[in-house]
Amino acid sequence: MSTDPVHRQPNESLNQLPFENRHSPSNGLLISFEGIDGCGKSTQIALLKEALQTQGIPVQVFREPGGTSVSETIRSILLDPENELNPVTEVLLFSSARSQLVTESILPALYRGEVVILDRFYDSTTAYQGYGHQILSPKALESIHRLAAHGLEPTLTFYLKLTLSVALERTAKLEKDRMESMGDSFFQRVIEGYNQLSMQEKRFVTLDANREIMEIHREILQSVHPRISSLNSAD
C-alpha cells in the first residue's frame, strides 16, 4: 500500500475528463513567472510569496515541470542530459506534467481561494518548444495548452526580460540540465518567443530583469496588490 498521502486524498479534479472542463475559478488567483533560465524567477517568486504570507494570504508555489510526484518523475526524464528526446515527445511530456499539476494541485488550491504562483506555465512551452525548437506553430500549441491546462489561464504573467549574455553570466557556475544545454541561437529564439507573447497577451507584465532585485520586487507588488484586494472582496 502506498504511504504517500497524495495518493490517498480524494481529489475530484483528478478524475475530470479533458474538454469537460473550462475552468476559470472566480476565487483564487493564478500568477505565472516566465523568462529565460537565470532571469530571476525563483528569486522574485520567493520574495512575492513571503510578502503575501506576511499579509496572511494563503500562497502555494509550484514549479514546472514538477510540483506533483508524477510531474517530478516526468521532469527528471525531461531534464536528464542522457535522454535524447524527439521534440514532439518533449512537448507532450511537458504538457503531461502540466495536466497532472493542474488537476492534482492548482485547481484544488484555487477553489480554496488561495494564490497560486507558478514558476513557468504553458508560455514556456510556446517559447522553448514553439519558438526554440520551431516544431509546432504557436497556434497549433494553443490547443495542446488548452487541453493540458484544462482551460486555466493565469490572471497575471510576469515576464522577466533579460539579455542572453546577462542570463549566461548569472548561471555560468551552475551545472547545465538538458534544456539549458541548448545553444545560444536556441535561447535567442526563446527570447524572441517571449517578446512576441508579451506583445500579444494582455496578462503579460514585462519587467526589465536587469535591475536591482528589490526594485523589481516592488514593481511586482504594485501589479499584484489590486488583484489581492479584489480577491478579498469576493468573499
Residues forming the site for ligand ADP (CB under 6 A): 35, 37-43, 170, 209, 213, 216
Q: Which three cell numbers stand for residue 168?
A: 549566461
Q: Which helix (H) or strand (E) holds 14?
A: none
With binding defined as CB under 6 A, does residue 34 bind ligand TYD?
no
Angle between helices 138-148 and 87-101 (to 10 degrees): 30
CB 53 within 8 A of CB 59: yes
- Say how many C-beta atoms besides its own lie within 10 A of residue 30's C-beta: 26
All residues at 6 or more sequence positions from 146 whose CB lies less than 8 Å from its CB, including other chains = none
Nearer Cβ to ligand ADP (190/231): 190
Contact partner, 108, from ligand TYD, ligand ADP, none, Cβ < 5-8 Å per class: none
Q: Could you say which of 34, 37, 104, 114 contacts ligand TYD (CB under 6 A)?
A: 37
- Determine the Cα–Cα distance for residues 126 and 9; give it in Å rounded to an integer: 33
Q: With CB under 6 A as the contact rule, which of the stretches 8-16, 124-132, 146-154, 202-210 interacts with ligand TYD?
A: 124-132
* Residue 63 in contact with ligand TYD, rule: CB under 6 A: yes
Contact status: 65 vs ligand TYD (CB under 6 A): yes
Give me the residues that bind ligand TYD (CB under 6 A), please: 37, 41-42, 63-65, 79, 94, 119-120, 124-125, 128-129, 179-180
